[in-house]
Structure 1
Amino acid sequence: MHDFSSYTLIIDARSPREYEEDHIPGAVNMPVVNNDEYAEVGTLHRSDKMGAYSIGVRYSLANIARHLTEDLPKYPKDGKVLVYCFRGGKRSKLWIDALETIGYDVQKLTGGWKAYRRWVNEQLETAPTKFDYHVLSGPTGCGKTRLLYALHEAGCQVVDLEAIARHRGSIIGAIPDTPQPSQKYFDTLLLEELAKLDPSRPVWVEAESKKIGNVQIPASMLDSMRKGKTVRVHADMQQRVELWRQDYKHFEEDPEGMLERLRFIRSLVGGKEFEEWEKLAADRQMPELFERLMRNHYDPAYRRSILREYPNIDESPLIDLSDLSPAGLLQVAKNIRAQYEH
């Protein structure tokens, strides 16, 4: 596979819908046909191949002409350009012919996005196994994510899986107005993060379930994390409630919306317990609601889950986060780095 950093511009010639699902990091979408045009050409191709190609070429030439006028001038004229489409076929060729005619140094990604995707899958079978992981474990709201940020600031190597997934990991963990990446693009972004890391140094992560929202962590990474060193994180309940109030401000305004997402676990926690949640939500007693959710659902559920994944977790060292301010967390992170990275 190419060294993508050697190109001054990478053009993804596919439709916007294909690009949104997954693309090479840093690639710019300059489609030869838009979503509607792509669908039209594909439909016609079933009954009239020549007619479909004729319409497709007309659309493509018009769109490429527009990109040459509006988009290409934003990028340097010197340096190498890489072009790819789905398989490295007609859409790439149309772009390459135009760029070569102008005088650009342009190359095609052999096999297109399909070959790139195959390469990503192959890399994810082995890339995560090259690292020694230090896994932060602790119940919901104990400050694991904030500690992970502080570890990064302190100079540690960190992979924030929830940030890549754009999700906080629980059934209410969707981030408002922030759609998750597709599974394919999550894989792409994860591989990009791993490529930045030094295998000779430990990598800090949070303990996660197999899925974060709608995306799944590669089995190779989960297996490697389970073999890593675990560190337990603790914060008192008052601090945890306050963190929840900060992280889930949208549920402070709409607690009924939160309970609607939790409704499918009603049979798990029991109707009586769920009714107590509903009463607290109706009365807008949010600190009490958050604490009850943690004590009676999240903490027991996390305990069961972490023991399945890390049976010896209780033997792990414990970090007590008594000061969750940025300065306090940074000091803890510096102490951790001094202890674990020699």
Structure 2
Amino acid sequence: MPIELPALPLRDLPFDEIIDVRAPSEFAEDHIPGAINLPVLSDAERARVGTTYVQEDRFLARKIGAALVARNAAAHLEGPLADRGGGWRPLVYCWRGGQRSGSFTTILKQVGWRADTIDGGYRAYRRAVVETLYDTPLDRRIVLIDGGTGTGKTVLLEHIARAGGQVLDLEGLAHHRGSNFGGWPEPQPGQKMFESRLLPLLAETDPTRPVFVEAESNAIGQLRVPPSLWAAMGRAEVIRLEAPLEARARFLTTTYPDLMDDAARLTPRIDSLRPYQPRDRIEAWHMLAREGRHAALAAELIAHHYDPKYNRIPREGRTAIGQVTLTDLTDDDLARAATEALALTGAT
């Protein structure tokens, strides 16, 4: 019998491995964290079976599908699963807990393994994610680290974590630094994958202790902060960071080395600000970039673009609990700031 999903995240399940038998493109879009992909139909095979089912004959489609599943299952048994012992117990799922996972699980059971499927498959898992991150209020004490661009918010979170605090690095999960200049070399995950990675990290936090999060808009690049977390951030406590402009500009040049060293990437980022800045200022910024005067460029961007934008952000509903002043944004300075931030919340 298929098993029903317990409360997310999936913990203490009596299984050694979770197997996603959907096609690679389905797995790439999103999957249960920790699952491995052993597709019983490739993307092309799935399309072929689906087309046959709709346009030709349902029985023929099932027969073709069964042959392909058997062939692919054999390849998995002789390949990735060849070293699994007799006591191995897998949990298998497909899109809706139907024929793909059922067929593969039957084969695994015939081998002698205690395999089971997830009732409702990936769709049941996704519904549970939405219920948790969209429909259920978040019972966590969120503390926002707020401050203008270049005040070291992300690095401060790392220091808070080293000092024993609970942190949630949304930019790290989103593969984006949260600004026009914030893209990472690797692409962002999709929204569903972002949420699947976020959920277990949230669940692992202790609800009796504060969780430090960088103050963000509800959009991080192409991704959205899920509603339950965004609502908690909207009523959060706030610690404000302050730092001298010169130190912030210098810090940005070390934070974005991949961008500063690549004129082909930097030029379009500056051009993306044309709707917000006068033409002569944009041209002056391009000149600073061409001359390699990156600290001066960073100072200009902070003073004329990012600080004015930051000062327009509405902050109603949030409670300021203190300010931390940084001097030079070195590691020692940020380590001291982390200790102060923890003290402001009573977390030390």
Task: Pick from 314, 319, 328 the counterpart of residue 324 of structure 2.
Answer: 319
Contact 1:157-1:203 at 8 Å conserved across structures: yes
CA offsets 1:54-75 (integer angstroms, 9 cap, x no match)? 2222221111111111111355
Could you tell me how far apart the structure 1 residues matched to 2:200 and 2:136 are? Answer: 10
Q: Tell me the CA shift for residue 243 of structure 1.
A: 2.2
Could you tell me how far apart the structure 2 residues matched to 1:182 and 1:27 are? Answer: 17
1:242 aligns with 2:250: yes
Aligned to 1:334: 339
Aligned to 1:201: 209
Aligned to 1:156: 165
Could you tell me how far apart the structure 2 residues matched to 1:85 and 1:39 are? Answer: 15
Aligned to 1:282: 290
1:29-48 alignment to 2 at 5 Å?
29-48=37-56
Q: Residue 43 of structure 2 aligns to which amino acid in structure 1?
A: N
Q: Residue 61 of structure 1 aligns to which amino acid in structure 2?
A: A
Contact 2:175-2:189 at 8 Å conserved across structures: yes
Aligned to 2:123: 114
Task: Pick from 14, 23, 26 the counterpart of residue 18 of structure 1.
Answer: 26
Contact 1:15-1:35 at 8 Å conserved across structures: yes
1:131-210 alignment to 2 at 5 Å?
131-176=140-185, 178-210=186-218
Q: Residue 337 of structure 1 aligns to which amino acid in structure 2?
A: L
Aligned to 2:230: 222
Task: Pick from 229, 237, 259 the counterpart of residue 251 of structure 1.
Answer: 259
Q: Tell me the CA shift for residue 327 of structure 1.
A: 4.0
Could you tell me how far apart the structure 2 residues matched to 1:13 and 1:229 are? Answer: 43
Contact 2:151-2:242 at 8 Å conserved across structures: yes
Q: Tell me the CA shift for residue 80 of structure 1.
A: 3.0
1:317 is paired with a residue of what secondary structure? strand
CA offsets 1:126-182 (integer angstroms, 9 cap, x no match)? 566201111000111111011101111111111111111111111221101x11111
Could you tell me how far apart the structure 2 residues matched to 1:297 and 1:76 are? Answer: 60
1:158 is paired with a residue of what secondary structure? strand
- The 1:204–1:142 alpha-carbon spacing in structure 2 relative to 1, beyond 3 Å, is same
Aligned to 1:98: 107
CA offsets 1:256-286 (integer angstroms, 9 cap, x no match)? 5223134243131121211111221222222
- The 1:335–1:282 alpha-carbon spacing in structure 2 relative to 1, beyond 3 Å, is closer
Q: Residue 171 of structure 1 aligns to which amino acid in structure 2?
A: N
Contact 2:234-2:318 at 8 Å conserved across structures: no
- The 1:128–1:44 alpha-carbon spacing in structure 2 relative to 1, beyond 3 Å, is same
CA offsets 1:224-257 (integer angstroms, 9 cap, x no match)? 1121110111222232222222221122222352
- The 1:24–1:71 alpha-carbon spacing in structure 2 relative to 1, beyond 3 Å, is same
Could you tell me how far apart the structure 2 residues matched to 1:74 and 1:339 are? Answer: 52
Structure 1 unmatched ranges of 5 or more: none
- Structure with higher helix content: 1
- The 1:76–1:127 alpha-carbon spacing in structure 2 relative to 1, beyond 3 Å, is farther
1:83 aligns with 2:92: yes
Q: Residue 332 of structure 1 aligns to which amino acid in structure 2?
A: A
Q: Residue 237 of structure 1 aligns to which amino acid in structure 2?
A: L
Contact 1:256-1:278 at 8 Å conserved across structures: no
Could you tell me how far apart the structure 2 residues matched to 1:77 and 1:296 are? Answer: 66
Contact 2:251-2:329 at 8 Å conserved across structures: no
Structure 2 unmatched ranges of 5 or more: none
1:64 aligns with 2:73: yes
Could you tell me how far apart the structure 2 residues matched to 1:270 and 1:105 are? Answer: 67
Q: CA RMSD in A?
A: 2.0
Q: Residue 338 of structure 1 aligns to which amino acid in structure 2?
A: A
1:9 aligns with 2:17: yes
